[in-house]
Amino acid sequence: MSVSGNVSGSLRRPESIGPPLRDDVILVEVAWEVTNKVGGIYTVIQTKAKITIDEWGENYVMMGPYFEHNVRTQVELVEPQNPAIRRTIDSMNAKGCKVYFGRWLIEGNPCVILFDVGATAWSLDRWKAELWDCCSIGIPWYDREANDAVLFGFLITWFLGEFVSQCEGNCPFIITHFHEWLAGVGLIMCRIRKIPVATIFTTHATLLGRYICAGNVDFYNNLAYFDVDREAGERQIYHRYCMERAAVHCTHVFTTVSEITAVEAEHLLKCKPHMVTPNGLNLKKFSAMHEFQNLHSKSKMRIQEFVRGHFYGHLDFDLDKTIYFFIAGRYEFTNKGADLFLEALARLNYLLRAHQSRVTVVAFFIMPAQTNNFNVETLKGQAVRKQLWDTANAVKEKFGKKLYESLLTGELPEAKQMIDQEDFVMMKRALLSTQRRSLPPVCTHNMLDDSTDPILNTIRRIGLFNHPNDRVKVIFHPEFLSSTSPLLPLDYEEFVRGCHLGVFPSYYEPWGYTPAECTVMGIPSISTNLSGFGCFMEHHITDPSAYGIYILDRRFKSLDECCNQLTSFLYSFSQQTRRQRVIQRNRTERLSDLLDWRYLGRYYTHARLLALSKAFPNNFSHDIAEISASFHYPRPTSFPPSPSFSSASSPRYSDSDIEPYNEEEEAEIDRKNIKLDSMLNLIHERNKSLENSFTFKTSSTSNTTTPSRPSASSSVRASTSSSKPADPSDPNRMTNSSDPKRPTSPSTSRDPSKLTDPNDPSKPTDPSTSSDASKPTDPSDPSKSNNPSTSHDLSKPTDPSDSSKPTNPSTSHDLSKPTDPNEPTNPSDVNKLTNPNSSNWPSKLSNPSRDTNPSNS
């Protein structure tokens, strides 16, 4: 950190990144997850560290809690080089605190300051009393997590106040970024004690929202009608809710990770976010260039080896025609959509059997739960597979040696001479060991409470027991994946690469890292319009399904309608040929740039500049409209990679079908559709904005509330451009202005010109898909196709027999209106794939708690 007591030194970035920044502005990021893996915020902070270091250099420092078991493996403790920080740490340690300085051993190697909250427990009562006197927030003695949050917050405030005093009047400008309610007390006390810092508060998921959704209620349709104080009090988290809400209202800049979470925060926390800061990934970890297809093939072979052992004795299906679906994450049965996935699998099984499909689907559930150990039957299957492999290798070696000796003598061998009786006996014994009377197990482990497990109980109800007649097989793996596992020796990343489709039909998902990780690895995925990832992709891509991002509508549909739509997605994907899946994986992988921190980091940059302009208005100026144009992908020009939804009754596509597709040409078109030429230009542009924004404003008045600052010679106000498109994180785009009682779906917050009828020449067409707005686009021309979700008259159903006009089921109707159950709502409705009156059709969902009442929609 180059900021010292006299604010000397120079902060410079690598030459490839951009020009130097001012050295009197430092960034402090505060989170309970710094070096402490608890949840998804750990991934956010860890993956963002490299791009933040490239931008801020040594003027970036993180603050978190000290846990010895984490520090031993993740942190290198060193002496701080900055004199002011060293004096601050020494002063606090001399007064009874335990403060540590080190380097976090991750990419970027950022500086971290860690506080031992347990060592300052002697101050807990005094600090809780001060919090009550200042904010009227009382913390009960039994809530240890809230007590830790109080200790952590006051230590942060103590450090920042001490650091300002140690700078001896030449204090640098400080930006403090707090994540989640556990760090919120520090923000509150910084404002109460009037410490001169700019503050940012980011909520990755509202505390009350998590608790309410865990109660299996119709959350989003009643969002505007919750009595938040009563709801928090009934769940005994009122004090936590008050801490979070106070931090939101005290901060200079309030941000959330997605538009759907912004709507939630506006109703539950009573504050509209200033902007959205989406979560990204460090693509260097997942980068495989053109090798991701080969990595998919290698990982798929390893999954096939597990499947061979798991289904021994019942391996009567073709592995070459087997596709692998998976769902992964925390074991939140309803919030993560596992209930919906299981119901859709039951209906998919019926469809595949009814159409006598040769495709087999193996669905993995990777959700950690309490178990005793591995299932004996599962381990036996892997042992039998290994025994067969060893037997085959032994026979092969003997056969090869005899063949070699026979050929050396110049004679062609006879079959009886190559395999003798001993070999036949050994093979027969190995074959008899594969006999099995029981069905392959559904769960790979012995569950601690098998009778009440929601996944197993649902499987018992729908009857998916891995019977030979079932075309859908289910494997529940209630443990995190590991390469050292004796059962499925694969890391999570390798497992994802080997699967064909990730299914994440979440009901409550503020962002969603699992589908994002699938995307950067080139694996198609199913998400929902209630997840931050789904909303983000709907905003940036004209037709997400063409790029392997299927968006399920869970906001304005009943649970049964959602299940039908998910079933149609799964069935259509299972009917793809191998070539179509390869094409779709290529398209999915090209969306990686959208999720790169080098692109999404600009939202954090603008949040910091906005905080500076609010905290120090005499020194900084910034306009949120500065955010430059975002990526936008139109529909691909070639034939869609997936068959139309009406093809279920037509002959199955063969792998030899020829489709007009050229990977290089399509990739070049996608690259041209990116508004900026390259990510490097984006970084250069952002750095120029930073350099201008970090210049003092010329003013005759001075800020009397801040300490003395070093002078500057000139001031440049950040320029804005009215020609740029609207900021996707603009909070004004999050609510429906026509109905203040009800939030608008994120999928409807697009440019209204994209919702016009292309057959009406008086209305403009989507500029991302047509070069001449005065002429309607010919929908029959695949190279000039508009958004399929808006390219037809919404008052008329789409002809399902016309495969040249495939529609996106998730956006093919007006989301601002409730679904009429008496009218066809979806051209991909699974009822059109088979006879809806058939008695073999599985029953509707039995859980009515989330069915949307059309009268209330």
Rounded Cα distance, 841 and 347, in Å: 7
Structure tokens at 569: 């997605």
pLDDT tens, position by position, 621-679:
876 655 544 556 777 766 555 444 444 444 444 444 445 666 677 777 666 554 434 44
- Burial annotation 205-220 (CB, 10 A radius, 16+ → b, else e): bbbbbebbbeeeeebb
In this structure, are strands 173-179 and 25-30 parallel, antiparallel, or unpaired? parallel
Copy the structure tokens of residue 596. Answer: 């790169």
- Residues in contact with 707: Cβ distance below 8 Å, sequence separation at least 6, in sequence order: 164, 167, 169, 170, 171, 196
Q: Is the Cβ–Cβ distance between 560 and 842 less than 8 Å?
A: no
Query: Which two three-digit tokens encode residue 95?
Result: 């007064």
Taking the C-alpha atoms of residue 379 and residue 376, their distance in angstroms, rounded to an integer, is 5
Neighbours of 402 (CB within 10 A): 15
Least confident of 93-107, 128-142, 381-395, 626-640: 626-640
Distance CA 357, CA 336 (A): 29
pLDDT tens column, 736-782: 433 433 444 433 343 433 333 434 434 444 434 333 433 444 434 44
How far, in Å, CA of 210 to CA of 269, rounded? 13
Is 489 exposed, middle or buried (CB count within 10 Å of its CB: 0-12, 13-18, 19+)? middle
What are the distances in angstroms from CA 5 to CA 11, 86, 90, 651, 765?
A: 15, 11, 15, 77, 58
pLDDT for 425-444, tens place per residue? Answer: 888 887 887 788 889 999 99
Residue 289's pLDDT band, with cuts at 50, 70 and 90, is: low
Question: Phi first, then psi: what are they for 446, rounded to 5°?
Answer: -90, 110
Is the Cα dihedral 702, 707, 708, 713 positive or negative?
negative
The percentage of residues in the chain with a pLDDT greater than 90, rounded to a whole number, is: 55
Q: What is the pLDDT of residues 829-855, one digit of tens each?
A: 444 433 434 444 444 333 333 443 433
Is the pLDDT confidence value at 78 over 50?
yes
| 200: Cα within 13 Å, side-chain hemisphere | 29
**3 state SS of 848:** helix
Residue 400 has what pLDDT? 85
pLDDT tens-digit series, residues 162-199? 999 998 778 899 999 999 999 999 999 999 999 999 99
Query: Please, which pLDDT band fits residue 505 given cuts at 50, 70 and 90?
Result: very high
Q: Which of 448, 474, 471, 449 is nearest to 461 (CA)?
A: 474
- H-only helix segments in 372-491: 376-408, 415-418, 421-432, 454-462
Q: What is the pLDDT of residue 738?
A: 39
SS3 837: coil
CA 512 to CA 525: how far, in whole Å? 11
CB 299 within 8 A of CB 494: yes
- Tell me which of 204-208, 295-299, 436-440, 621-625 is least confident: 621-625
How far is 565 from 567, CA to CA, in rounded Å?
5
Q: How large is the angle between the packed helices 292-310 and 578-589, nearest 10 degrees?
A: 130
Contact partners, residue 713, CB within 8 Å, separation at least 6: none
Q: At residue 247, does pLDDT exceed 70?
A: yes
| Predicted TM-score of the model (pTM) | 0.73
Round the average pLDDT of the chain to a whole number and report it: 78
Q: Is the pLDDT of residue 136 over 80?
A: yes
pLDDT at 672: 58
What's the chain's Rg over C-alpha atoms?
30
Q: In a 10 Å sphere around its CB, with 0-12 CB exposed, 13-18 middle and 19+ buried, how is residue 157 labelled?
A: buried
From 366-370, 390-394, 723-727, the region with the lowest mean pLDDT: 723-727
* Cβ-contact 187, 201 below 8 angstroms: yes
Query: Buried b / exposed e across 288-311, counting CB within 10 Å, b at 16+?
Result: beeebeebbeebbeebebbbbbbb
- Give 391's pLDDT tier (boundaries 50, 70, 90): confident
State which amino acid sits at residue 407. Answer: L
Residue 681, SS3? helix
Cα–Cα dist 157/180, whole Å: 16
Q: What is the mean pLDDT of residues 266-275?
A: 95
Query: Considering the chain, what percentage of its residues have pLDDT values greater than 70?
Result: 70
DSSP string over 345-382:
HHHHHHHHHHTT---EEEEEEE----EEEE-HHHHHHH
Query: Which amino acid, one-letter code, is at 857?
Result: S
